[in-house]
Amino acid sequence: MSKIIAVNAGSSSLKFQLFEMDDEHVITSGIVERIGMDDAIFTIKYNGEKETKTLPVPTHNEAVQLLLDTLIEKKIVHDLTDIKGIGHRIVQGGSYFDSSVVIDEDVKAKIKELIPLAPLHNGPHLIGINAFEKAIPSAGAVAVFDTAFHQSMPPKNYIYPIPYEYYTDHAIRKYGAHGTSHYYVSQRVIDLLGNPEHSNIIVAHLGAGGSLTAVKDGKSYDTSMGLTPLAGIMMATRCGDIDASVFDFMAENLGMSAHEIITTFNKKSGLLGVSGVSGDMRDVKAAAEEGNKRAQLAIEIFENRVVDYIGQYTFELGHVDAIAFTAGIGENSDFVRHDILAKITEATGIVIDEDANKNGKGERLITKPESKIKVFVIPTDEELVIARDTKRLLNL
């Protein structure tokens, strides 16, 4: 029996899933939110039941302790040494990591060095790594990077057309994100296509954050996020690609600071900014159906941005075998998938299977046999990839 915990430590949250790796089933999962507050929220799912409690959790150390105490208390594990491996999701691995690695002092130093590239993420990840190391010293730890899958991109797709020294001297380039999800989903599609030697796939990860990746022969060839997750398509609250001069205009004419501008682009834009209603596609859709014009426009822009990238990646790849939709919107929102596919039907020869799209559940094909490109819905499972890499690298 080998138990592995997949951990995603954010600035004020700690998400976890505990796996029994013999059959890869999730024993328990949950999240500690609002770390640092007196009214932090701890939610744990176990045996089909969900329990939530509100309590003070001053730092990530207490969050980890709370989680581990609960595992013992509920007899989910008899002893903490039952947990043999800890897999940490790390947002930014820079150009150092093209695959997952066992965490040692050198890996920690590199994650720390990369904090300027992911200030909201890499710092909290390190706190999470150290907290678990202290709590379960017997367990091995592995880092699984969101950027690793995209390290296969050719320079023509990751170098920004700004003076080259900004790349060589300051590491400013496209890194991409959601790599673990793009990897998992594209591998599932390759399996479903019957493992062809060569396959070109476009993965549309549409969640609160969203990105598209062009996958060539199982490797990332291009992706829509950039130096940070702000680039690419329109998202829940992020603007995605816009003219960089908007930044200067806001600074010069509106007297906004760099921090205010970037916060506006990250937290107040996207579906929320355009609709004025919400960053959640379900709320925006409900408002659009009631006749809210800005909500209707927000959905139209969202879908158009995805179409733009599918078009770009189709030409970049030459031909496309399959498109896959994943994450919160990609998996659950049949009307978004329908609208996007309807817009590209004529250009691509895609023939959507409306019934499978609307009424089907889980992983499935949503195009008819005569469709020139197969389209799939693939529920993503980043935690499973983290747990598998942890098991493999620790030889468990």
The residue within the footprint of ligand ADP, chosen from 329, 366, 373, 393 (CB under 6 A), is 329
- 304 is an annotated ligand-binding site residue: no
179 binds ligand ADP (CB under 6 A): no
332 binds ligand ADP (CB under 6 A): yes
The question of whether 243 is a catalytic residue gets the answer: no
What are the CA-CA distances from residue 186 to residues 193, 324, 376, 386 (Å)?
10, 8, 10, 16
232 binds ligand ADP (CB under 6 A): no
The residue within the footprint of ligand ADP, chosen from 204, 327, 350, 393 (CB under 6 A), is 327
Q: Cα 139 to chain center, whole Å? A: 26
> In whole angstroms, what is the distance from residue 115 CA to residue 106 CA?
15
Query: How many C-beta neighbours within 10 Å does residue 133 have?
Result: 15
Q: Which residues contact 180 (CB under 8 A, 6 or more apart)?
A: 89, 144, 146, 148, 149, 382, 385, 386
Cβ proximity to ligand ADP, 173 vs 205, nearer residue: 205
Query: How many C-beta neighbours within 10 Å does residue 301 have?
Result: 17
260 binds ligand ADP (CB under 6 A): no
176 binds ligand ADP (CB under 6 A): no
The string of DSSP letters for 331-361 reads HH-HHHHHHHHHHHHHHHT--B-HHHHHH--
Q: Taking Cα atoms as reference points, which of 374, 384, 283 lies closest to residue 325?
A: 374
Query: How many C-beta neighbours within 10 Å does residue 198 have?
Result: 9
The residue within the footprint of ligand ADP, chosen from 10, 207, 232, 240 (CB under 6 A), is 207
> In whole angstroms, what is the distance from residue 171 CA to residue 192 CA?
37
Cβ proximity to ligand ADP, 284 vs 323, nearer residue: 284
DSSP character for 167? H
Cβ proximity to ligand ADP, 216 vs 238, nearer residue: 238
- 352 is an annotated ligand-binding site residue: no
Smallest separation, CB 188 to ligand ADP (Å): 16
282 binds ligand ADP (CB under 6 A): yes
Distance in angstroms between the alpha carbons of the first and the last residue of the chain = 9
Cβ proximity to ligand ADP, 87 vs 207, nearer residue: 207
Instruction: Give me the catalytic one of 39, 104, 106, 146.
Output: 146
Cβ proximity to ligand ADP, 282 vs 319, nearer residue: 282
> In whole angstroms, what is the distance from residue 387 CA to residue 23 CA?
12
Q: Which amino acids are annotated as binding site for Mg(2+), given as ranges?
A: 8, 382
Q: Which amino acids are annotated as binding site, given as ranges?
A: 8, 15, 89, 205-209, 280-282, 328-332, 382
Residues near ligand ADP, by CB under 6 A: 207-209, 236, 280-282, 327-329, 332-333
Q: Which sequence positions are flagged as catalytic?
A: 146
